[in-house]
Homo-oligomer: A and B are copies of this chain.
Amino acid sequence: MTTDRPIRVAVLGAGGLGKAAAQIIGLKREVILTAICDSRGIVWSEESLDTDAVVSLTGDLVDGYQAHQRPRTTTDHGGVTLATRVEARHCDDPIGEMIRRADVLDGVLVALPNLPNDFIPSVIERFATGGSSLAFVDVLKRTRAVQYLFALDSPVSRSRSVVLTGCGATPGTLAAAAVLAAQSFVEVEKVDIWWGVGIANWEAYRATIREDIAHLPGYTVERAKAMTDSDVDALLEQTNGRLELRQMEHADDVLLQRVGVVDRLEQVEVGGVMDTRHAKKPVSTTMTLTGITHDGHRSRHTFILGDETTMAANVIGPALGYLKRALWLKAHGLFGVFGCTEFLPMVVR
């Protein structure tokens, strides 16, 4: 990252997390938003997109971007004024369009809904088998989804790409904090992650809410995906807007097992509370690692996220930091699929 040129990032997905990614990228000087897509189209510029337009739009990406884009000009070093060229168009295969433009990208932040479990892995596999050499980061949550991704190590390595998987909050920085916490102990007994998310309006996170509902007893990923907005409303009406989830299938387990923090997946337990009617977090998001020290004491280290930080800040901030690390790995010829527990994310200025 010693180049002066900013990192050209594509964001896959234009829902709540995709928009948050655009917003945060817009605040950083080391990264620019080069492309973004939803399921119906792609918006793309070799210079840089108007991140405010992405943040402001509602509904369809292509229509919304065109409606919100401010007239802009950029000035090159010679003082000549050029109009920013933006292409925004509907298409049947936005991922395919993205792959065709891969040579003007450095990194890809995947913020697509992962319903079903193998959807994001299949998208990354398309890039890899298409021969794109890129750095990818995802914020996958499910154990099985992350396992699908690790199984792509060979095609990803062959395409001279790097994927860092599970790089949000949980899994993400909380699992990485568990790696730090584990260092004080000769035996790790348990890693408990208990998260709180407060969102004033769940309709800004239509995919995230369904991914959470899928963890409720009696629900599956398929059943949650098939729910209409009224179905979601009806469910939340019964729970006073709250979802309390326990023993979630969360990839923190496989990511911590992979690096030897725990032997068995059952030693990692993830649960949490989502309040869909208030922005205030219902509980503080906390990682607690319990272990035994070399001198025989049982103790606990904790990592606690401040209540004023939103899910978007705690998921997309780390994802960008891990994307910079993925670019570092790629620059050093370390290709393949890695987890959030293997490296520290870098700071994106």
Contact = CB atoms under 8 A, between A and B. Distances in A.
Interface stretch (A33-41, A59-67, A266-274, A336-344): A336-344
Nearest to A182: B347
Interface in A327-347: 332, 334, 341-347
Given A177-B177, A304-B304, A332-B332, A309 B344 contact: no
A308 B301 contact: no
A293 interface: yes
Interface stretch (A109-117, A195-203, A310-318): A310-318
A174 to B, nearest CB: 9
A150 interface: no
A180 interface: yes
A180 B186 contact: no
A304 B305 CA distance: 12
Interface stretch (A23-31, A84-92, A158-166): A23-31
A-side binding surface: helix, strand, loop or mixed? loop
Nearest to A177: B180
Contacts of A27: 186, 294
Name the residue in A180, A301, A346, A347 with the highest tally of chain B Cβ atoms < 10 Å from its Cβ.
A180
A323 B272 CA distance: 35
Contact of A295 (B313, B332, B343): B313
Contacts of A120: none
A309 B334 contact: no
Contacts of A220: none
A177 B293 contact: no
Interface in A175-216: 176-177, 179-186
A15 B47 CA distance: 59
B299 A345 contact: no
A300 interface: yes
Interface residues of A, number: 53
A298 interface: yes
A229 interface: no
Contact of A184 (B181, B297, B309): B309
Contacts of A54: none
Nearest to A188: B347
Interface string A106-139: 0000000000000000000000000000000000
A302 interface: yes
Contact of A349 (B260, B298, B345): B260
B302 A304 contact: yes
A162 to B, nearest CB: 13
A259 interface: yes
Contacts of A185: 309, 313, 317
A215 to B, nearest CB: 23
Nearest to A328: B342
A261 interface: yes
25 contacts: A23-B295, A24-B294, A27-B294, A28-B186, A173-B181, A176-B180, A179-B347, A180-B344, A180-B345, A182-B347, A183-B318, A184-B305, A184-B309, A260-B347, A260-B349, A293-B310, A295-B313, A299-B307, A299-B308, A299-B309, A301-B309, A302-B306, A303-B304, A332-B332, A332-B334
